[in-house]
Amino acid sequence: MAGPVLEMRSIVKTFPGVKALSDVTLTVRQGEVHAICGENGAGKSTLMKVLSGVHPHGSYEGEILFEGDVCRFGDIRASEQHGIVIIHQELALSPYLSLAENIFLGNEHARGGFINWNETLRHATQLLRRVGLTDHPETRVADIGVGKQQLVEIAKALSKKVKLLILDEPTAALNDEDSDKLLDLILELKKQGITSIIISHKLNEIRKVADSVTILRDGQSIETLDVKAPETTEDRIISGMVGRDLDHRFPERTPHHPEEDAAPALEIRDWTVHHPIDQQRKVADDVSLHVRRGEIVGIAGLMGAGRTELAMSVFGRSYGRYAGGTVLKDGKEIRTKTVAEAVGHGIAYVTEDRKHYGLNLIDTINRNISLTALDKVAKRGLVDEHEERQVAERYRKSMNIKAPTVFEPVGKLSGGNQQKVVLSKWIFAGPDVLILDEPTRGIDVGAKFEIYTVIDKLAAEGKAIIFISSELPELLGMCDRIYTMAAGRLTGEFSRAEATQEVLMRQMTKDKEVTR
Amino acid sequence: MSTDVTNTPAEAPPGKSGSNDTGENLVRLMLDGMRRNMRQYGMLIALGLIVALFAVWTGGDTLLPHNVSNLVLQNSYILILAIGMMLVIIAGHIDLSVGSLTAFVGAFAAVMTVQHGVSWPVALVLSLAVGAVAGSVQGFLIAYLGIPSFIVTLAGMLIFRGLTEILLKGQTLGPFPGGLQKMGNGFLPEVGPTTNYHNITLLLGLAVIVFVVLQEVRDRKRQQEFSLDVLPAKLFLLKLVALVAAVLTVTMMLASYKGAPIVLLILGALVVGYGYMMRNAVFGRHIYAIGGNLPAAKLSGVKDKKVTFYVFLNMGMLAALAGLVVAARLNAASPKAGLSFELEAIASSFIGGASMSGGVGTVLGAIIGGLVLGVLNNGMNLLSVGTDWQQVIKGLALLAAVGFDVWNKRKSGS
Q: Do A360 and B222 touch (CB under 8 A)?
A: no
Among B12, B73, B123, B403, residue whose Cα is nearest residue B267 = B73
Q: Do B282 and A374 touch (CB under 8 A)?
A: yes
* Reduced DSSP (H G I as helix, E B as strand, rest coil) percent helix, strand, coil of chain A, to 5: 35, 25, 40
Judge contact between A273 and A514, C-beta under 8 A.
no
Choose the closest CB to A351 out of B36, B286, B299.
Answer: B299
Tell me, what's the pLDDT at B3? 36
Q: Do B288 and A374 touch (CB under 8 A)?
A: no
pLDDT tens-digit series, residues B124-154: 999 999 999 999 999 999 999 999 999 999 9
Query: Where does the pLDDT of residue B17 fall: very low under 50, low under 70, confident under 90, or very high at 90 and above?
Result: very low
pLDDT tens-digit series, residues B295-314: 999 999 999 999 999 999 99
Residue bearing the bigger pLDDT, A55 or B412: A55
Residue bearing the bigger pLDDT, B7 or A414: A414
Amino acid found at A267:
E
Query: Where does the pLDDT of residue B20 fall: very low under 50, low under 70, confident under 90, or very high at 90 and above?
Result: very low
Judge contact between B176 and B327, C-beta under 8 A.
yes
Q: Do A411 and B228 touch (CB under 8 A)?
A: no
Among A256, A282, A238, A200, residue whose Cα is nearest residue A467 = A256
Query: pLDDT over 90 for what percent of chain B?
Result: 50
pLDDT at position B94 over 90: yes
Choose the closest CB to A340 out of B33, B303, B414.
Answer: B303
Q: Do A390 and B227 touch (CB under 8 A)?
A: yes
Q: Give yes or no for A385 touching B (CB within 8 A).
A: yes
Q: Give yes or no for B36 touching A (CB within 8 A).
A: yes
* Reduced DSSP (H G I as helix, E B as strand, rest coil) percent helix, strand, coil of chain B, to 5: 75, 0, 25
Q: At residue A115, what are phi and psi to the nearest 5 degrees? A: -80, 135
Q: Give yes or no for A211 touching B (CB within 8 A).
A: no
Choose the closest CB to A362 out of B285, B299, B360.
Answer: B360
Mean pLDDT of the B362-389 span: 91
Tell me, what's the pLDDT at A440? 86
Q: Note if the bond before B175 is cis, omega within 30 degrees.
A: yes
Mean per-residue pLDDT of chain B? 86
Judge contact between A192 and A130, C-beta under 8 A.
no
Query: Where does the pLDDT of residue B363 fall: very low under 50, low under 70, confident under 90, or very high at 90 and above?
Result: very high
| C-alpha dihedral, B260 to B261 to B263 to B268, nearest 10° | -20
Judge contact between A246 and A473, C-beta under 8 A.
yes
Choose the closest CB to A383 out of B226, B285, B297.
Answer: B285
Q: Give yes or no for A398 touching B (CB within 8 A).
A: no
Q: Report which DSSP code applies to B232.
A: -
Judge contact between B368 and B122, C-beta under 8 A.
no
Cα of B205 to nearest chain A Cα, Å: 27
Query: Where does the pLDDT of residue B280 fall: very low under 50, low under 70, confident under 90, or very high at 90 and above?
Result: confident
Q: Do A383 and B282 touch (CB under 8 A)?
A: yes
Judge contact between B276 and B268, C-beta under 8 A.
no
Neighbours of B128 (CB within 10 A): 20
Cα of B15 to nearest chain A Cα, Å: 24
Q: Do A386 and B225 touch (CB under 8 A)?
A: yes
Task: Tell me the C-alpha distance between A129 and A475, whole Å.
Answer: 47
Radius of gyration in angstroms for the set of CA atoms belonging to chain A, rounded to a whole number: 25
Q: Do A389 and B226 touch (CB under 8 A)?
A: yes
Neighbours of A59 (CB within 10 A): 12
pLDDT at position B412 over 60: no
Task: Tell me the C-alpha distance between A310 and A327, whole Å.
Answer: 12
Residues in chain A with CB shorter than 8 Å from the CB of B281 are 381-383
Task: Tell me the C-alpha distance between A212 and A231, whole Å.
Answer: 13
Judge contact between B270 and B80, C-beta under 8 A.
yes
Cα of A319 to nearest chain B Cα, Å: 11
Specify the 3-state DSSP secondary structure of A122. Answer: helix
Query: Where does the pLDDT of residue B23 fall: very low under 50, low under 70, confident under 90, or very high at 90 and above?
Result: low
Q: At residue A10, what are phi and psi to the nearest 5 degrees? A: 45, 55
Task: Tell me the C-alpha distance between A462 and A20, whole Å.
Answer: 38
Ranges in chain A, pLDDT < 50: 246, 513-516
- Which residue from A minimizes the CA distance to B230? A386
Cα of B214 to nearest chain A Cα, Å: 17
Half-sphere exposure (CA, 13 Å, Cβ side) for A149? 24
- Which residue from A minimizes the CA distance to B279? A383
- Optimal mutation site among A312, A360, A406, interface B, most CBs of chain B within 10 A: A360
pLDDT at position B79 over 90: yes
Q: Do A425 and B300 touch (CB under 8 A)?
A: yes
Order across the sheet with A84-87: list the strands: A84-87, A164-168, A195-199, A33-37, A212-217, A220-226
Size of interface A-B (CB pairs under 8 A): 96
Residues in chain B with CB shorter than 8 Å from the CB of A372 are 300-301
User: Residue B389 to residues A471, B78, B337, B383, B397: CA-CA distances in angstroms?
Assistant: 65, 20, 22, 12, 12
Give the DSSP per-residue string, A85-103.
EEE-SS----TTSBHHHHH
Specify the 3-state DSSP secondary structure of B258. Answer: coil
Q: Which of A174-178, B88-92, B335-339 has the highest mean pLDDT?
A: B88-92
pLDDT tens-digit series, residues B243-277: 898 888 888 888 888 888 899 999 999 999 999 99
Order across the sheet with A481-486: list the strands: A347-350, A433-437, A464-469, A296-300, A481-486, A489-495
Among A314, A341, A290, A337, residue whose Cα is nearest residue A437 = A314
Q: Give yes or no for A363 touching B (CB within 8 A).
A: yes
- Range 322-361 of B in CB contact (< 8 A) with A: 359-360
Pairing of the two strands A382-383 and A378-379: antiparallel
Q: Do B359 and A367 touch (CB under 8 A)?
A: no
Domains and CATH numbers, chain B: 42-186+261-402 (1.10.3470), 187-260 (no CATH)
Tell me, what's the pLDDT at A491? 92
Neighbours of B291 (CB within 10 A): 30
Task: Tell me the C-alpha distance between A196 and A210, whole Å.
Answer: 9
Task: Tell me the C-alpha distance between A339 and A345, whole Å.
Answer: 10
Half-sphere exposure (CA, 13 Å, Cβ side) for A292? 12
Give the DSSP per-residue string, A437-493.
ESTTTT--HHHHHHHHHHHHHHHHTT-EEEEEES-HHHHHHH-SEEEEEETTEEEEE
Residue bearing the bigger pLDDT, B404 or A40: B404
| C-alpha dihedral, B219 to B220 to B225 to B229, nearest 10° | 120
Tell me, what's the pLDDT at B22? 54
Q: Give yes or no for A365 touching B (CB within 8 A).
A: no
Task: Tell me the C-alpha distance between B15 and B232, whole Å.
Answer: 8
The H or E element spanning position B43 is helix B38-57
Mean pLDDT of the B153-181 span: 92
pLDDT at position B5 over 60: no
The H or E element spanning position B410 is helix B387-411
- Which residue from A minimizes the CA distance to B412? A412
Give the DSSP per-residue string, B276-317.
HHHHHBHHHHHHHHHHH-HHHHHHTT--HHHHHHHHHHHHHH
- Over the range A14-46, which residues count as b (16 or more CB within 10 Å of their CB) and which as e? eeeeeebbbebebbbbebbbbbbbbbebbbbbb
Query: Where does the pLDDT of residue B225 fall: very low under 50, low under 70, confident under 90, or very high at 90 and above?
Result: confident
Cα of B299 to nearest chain A Cα, Å: 6
Residue bearing the bigger pLDDT, B100 or A3: B100
Q: Report which DSSP code applies to A52.
A: H
Query: pLDDT over 70 for what percent of chain B?
Result: 88
The Cα diameter of chain A in Å comes to 78
- Which residue from B minimizes the CA distance to A355? B296
pLDDT at position B191 over 60: yes
Mean pLDDT of the B361-378 span: 92
Judge contact between A308 and A319, C-beta under 8 A.
yes
Task: Tell me the C-alpha distance between B43 and B54, whole Å.
Answer: 16
Neighbours of A486 (CB within 10 A): 22
- Optimal mutation site among A382, A424, A426, A427, interface B, most CBs of chain B within 10 A: A382
Q: Report which DSSP code applies to A356.
A: I
Choose the closest CB to A371 out of B28, B280, B285.
Answer: B285
Cα of B357 to nearest chain A Cα, Å: 11
Q: Do A361 and B292 touch (CB under 8 A)?
A: yes
3-state per-residue secondary structure call for A237-288 = HHHHHHCCCCCCCCCCCCCCCCCCCCCCCEEEEEEEEECCCCCCCEEEEEEE
